[in-house]
Amino acid sequence: MRVAVTGAATGIGAATAAKLKQAGAHVVAFDIAEPQLVDRWIAVDLADPASIRAAADAADGPFDALINVAGLPPREGLSAKVLAVNYLGLVAFTEAMLATLAPGAAIVNVASRAGAHWRDNIDEVRALMAVTDVAALPGFVAAHGIDHVRAYNLSKEAVIVWSMAQCESLIARDVRINTVSPAAVTTGILDDFTAAFGDRIAKNVARAGRPGTAEEIADVICFLAGPESGWLKGIDVTVDGGMTAMAQADMLGFADDRAAAP
């Protein structure tokens, strides 16, 4: 199995690359920083369309899976760059890599539980999806009043929606696509999320018992990248230790029912 992985130098991407290597896969890593324990590293800056084109041109396909993990956390002052890397860069890189994918290949895009409200924000998601030029993003951010937290959420909402929208056309090419949406995960950028989302993360982690690990998310990614998940197409898999289920139970009033039980 030959797999292309973005963001393989750190965090979930590094854990995914390690698990793939343990399973005997040939891993080609695409990252701005050099990763460890992969078969080949191709440098790429996902905020730079020219860098994306050069990296895809250098790729030695065919690949049985493309796994897009690379992304930026919500950091103040980086709204436009978060959108550039997390959404426009992911889309541009995926489109540039399509010609290298083997028949039956899988694409796995890492989104986030923070993107779960795409239905509520579909107009803004559509507006972002209409942006095709990275240079237009600062103006987009200003026009929509987008701060770094909203930029992150919007980028992940758009990844989920775009991936669903590609499902049918990719099936026609014998390629399938899915997304994975982790919640709080113990990686080097967890502090960024804690700073951005504050008490919400602490409360959710407390209810779930602990944050997830990069290895746990990697397990799900590797499953979606492999043939065992061949009938899963166009879905978003939320990996959050029960956080979504508990939030939905609260919305349905089951928390009140539990409190009232003798």
Of the candidates 152, 162, 193, 197, the residue annotated as catalytic is 152
Task: From 24, 83, 81, 90, select the one nearest 56 (Cα to Cα).
Answer: 90
| Residue 1 host element (H or E) | none
Whether the bond between 62 and the residue before it is cis, its omega within 30 degrees of 0, is yes
Q: Strands across the sheet with 2-6, in order?
A: 40-43, 26-31, 2-6, 63-68, 101-110, 176-182, 236-239
Torsion over CA: 186, 236, 230, 37 (sign): negative
From residue 219, alpha-carbon distances to 18, 72, 136, 140, 239 in Å are 11, 21, 37, 36, 10
CB 69 within 8 A of CB 16: yes
Q: Is 189 exposed, middle or buried (0-12, 13-18, 19+ CB in 10 A)?
A: middle
Query: What six digits make up the tokens of 201?
Result: 């993360």
Active-site residue flag, 152: yes
Q: Tell me which amino acid residue 92 is.
A: A
- Rounded CA-CA distance 46/134 in Å is 10
Cα separations in angstroms, 123 against 77, 128, 147, 154, 161: 24, 9, 17, 11, 12
Q: Which residues are catalytic?
A: 152
